Amino acid sequence: MSYIELINSNKSYIVGESKIDANKDVSFQIEQGELVIVLGASGAGKSTVLNLLGGMDTNDSGSIIIDGKDIAGYNNKQLCDYRRNDVGFVFQFYNLVANLSAKENVDLASEIVSDALDSTQVLIDVGLEKRINNFPAQLSGGEQQRVAIARAIAKNPKILLCDEPTGALDYNTGKQVLQLLQDMSREKHTTVVIVTHNAAIAPIADRIIRMQDGKVKDTTINKEPQSIKDIEW
Ligand SMILES: Nc1ncnc2c1ncn2[C@@H]1O[C@H](COP(=O)(O)OP(=O)(O)O)[C@@H](O)[C@H]1O
Ligand SMILES: [Mg+2]
């Protein structure tokens, strides 16, 4: 069995009188330590997949196996523990707390788990040794995203889920953030799932899951992922 397996997962949302099928019979597998890109146009169902993997939403049917456990059968308390202990989340717009310093933002996350990494060390690891006591408004977009990544990885998560992590960043800063995420998978063997609509990023992944209209269109394994410095968009 693979580390992560989505099996025939369905999710729809009711909006007013109509039903939107956000994920239709979605199945895929991910191995531990892989860097995975979920690629698709806006509305394809990518964020829905990520929210299901992260225990932030529940599906209507199908299995969501994470490290041998089907979280689709979890109750609210189990899902809360799962989100707290096993998942790191990185969002497009960073979602930092404005009146807390970089270090305090990271501490917020590490305080809720028992095996957290040292917040100062994690900020140094993401290249922010000179920014530890700065507030978000004093940081560039790329630096804020690096704080958000530090916050996610300080929890020492099993899986790191990133929804359009470079969507708000310029080209070079986006590449630095991707490098950091690729390093997480290569050096720490964290399973990293990145959602993007940018097909140019896909060659850096070990596995590419293409989505269209709520379905998985195809999955490709990339034996020789490209280095981030060689991709362009
Ligand atoms: N909370 C929600 N309520 C209603 N509709 C939603 C919700 N989340 C997503 N959808 C709809 O589900 C579909 C897939 O959305 P999403 O997973 O966000 O796609 P993507 O991330 O690929 O842009 C879209 O049609 C979207 O409008
Ligand atoms: Mg989305």
The answer to whether residue 162 sits within a structural domain is yes
**Ion ligand 2 — residues with CB < 5 Å:** 47
The ligand that comes nearest to the alpha carbon of residue 91 is 2
Cα 71–chain centre separation:
17
For 168, which DSSP code? Answer: T
Q: Is residue 76 part of a domain?
A: no
Q: How many domains does the chain have?
A: 1
- Burial of 221 (C-beta count, 10 Å sphere; 0-12/13-18/19+): exposed
Atom of ligand 1 nearest to the CA of 197: 22
CA distance 62 to 75: 15
Task: Say how many Å lie between the CA of residue 53 and the centre of ligand 1.
Answer: 15
Residue 173 belongs to domain with CATH number: 3.40.50.300
Using CB distances shorter than 6 Å, the residues near ligand 1 are 13, 15, 20, 22, 40, 42-48
Q: pLDDT per position in the chain (233 positions), as tens? A: 999 999 999 999 999 999 999 999 999 999 999 999 999 999 999 999 999 999 999 999 999 999 999 999 999 999 999 999 999 999 999 999 999 999 999 999 999 998 899 999 999 989 999 999 999 999 999 999 999 999 999 998 999 999 999 999 888 889 999 999 999 999 989 999 999 999 999 999 999 999 999 999 999 999 999 999 889 88
Q: Is residue 19 part of a domain?
A: no
Q: Which helix (H) or strand (E) holds 18?
A: strand 18-30
Question: Is 73 part of any domain?
Answer: no
Range of the domain at 171: 32-59+83-230
In a domain, 53, yes or no: yes
CB-based contacts of 4: which residues, under 8 Å, 6+ apart?
Answer: 29, 30, 53, 65, 66, 67, 159, 191
